[in-house]
Amino acid sequence: MIKRGETPSDSIAEEIPEPLAEPISHSSAGRGVLTYLLLMAVQLFGSDFIVWKGLPAFRELVLAPGQQPANTPYDDNLTLAVLMLMQAAYWYRLLKVAIPFKGGRLSLSHLFLFLGRLNFIFGSAVFSIVLFRHLPELGPDTDVVLMARRGVLMVITLFALFCFTLELERLGDALGENKRE
């Protein structure tokens, strides 16, 4: 209805809603959850990759102590790239993204705490085999440069697995409201 002193175009303008002050977008909480899940998925993929690609080398170390494997069935450069990606995801999450899941889910808390411990078993087993079983058996014809390169890669791998273990434990603590007894 046109009021006194208004033109027809003024009354039409009142009926059209004004645009929202901010465009409709995902909430920051939703983005935080999605970012957290993506960063966890990167770390999980990296951990699975390490175990999947490392099992043949582990078997070779167990079955032939003291014999330096001449060739591993996976590319060290690809492994290093995956480890760097895992570390980037871990440190970005730790410094920039809060854990979005909190409290009161004791069964999930225990599951993630268990998975955190289970995750590090493979790394610990490889380290134990290499240090206590394989290295003492190495002979004089050992390629020291190859051994050093693989040793550095193993330490980086153990650190990446350790960081992912901590991440799983942080998630478990958050879900259990930090009430670990």
42-62 pLDDT tens trace: 999 999 998 888 787 778 777
Residue 116 lies in a domain: yes
| % of residues, the chain, pLDDT over 70 | 73
Q: Which residues contact 156 (CB under 8 A, 6 or more apart)?
A: 80, 83
pLDDT score recorded for residue 23: 40
Does any domain span residue 81? yes
Count of the separate structural domains present in the chain: 1
Quote the pLDDT of residue 149.
82
Q: Report the alpha-carbon distance of residue 39 to residue 63 in Å, rounded.
A: 36
DSSP 128-149: HIIIIIIGGG--TT--HHHHHH
**Predicted pLDDT at 21:** 37
CA distance 180 to 106: 10
**Contacts with 139 (C-beta within 8 Å, 6 or more apart), sequence order:** 66
* Residue 124's pLDDT band (cuts 50, 70, 90): confident
Does any domain span residue 24? no
Residue at 65 is within a domain: yes
Neighbours of 68 (CB within 10 A): 18
Residue 178 predicted with pLDDT over 70: no
User: Residue 160: inside a domain, yes or no?
Assistant: yes
Task: Give the ranges where the chain is alpha helix by DSSP (H).
Answer: 8-15, 28-63, 76-96, 106-128, 144-175
Q: What is the dihedral of CA 53, 123, 83, 164, to 10 degrees?
A: 120
Burial of 71 (0-12, 13-18, 19+ CB in 10 A): exposed
Q: Please, are residues 55 and 73 in contact by the beta-carbon 8 Å criterion?
A: no
Which tops the pLDDT comparison, 177 or 87?
87
- Per the structure, the complete domain to which residue 112 belongs is given by 42-175
pLDDT confidence bin for 123, thresholds 50/70/90: confident
The reply to whether 56 falls in a domain is yes
- 165 has pLDDT over 90: yes
pTM above 0.85, yes or no: no
- Say if residue 71's pLDDT is above 70: no
Taking the C-alpha atoms of residue 83 and residue 50, their distance in angstroms, rounded to an integer, is 8
Residue 6 covered by a domain: no
Cα-atom radius of gyration of the chain, to the nearest Å? 27
On whether residue 47 sits in a domain, the answer given is yes
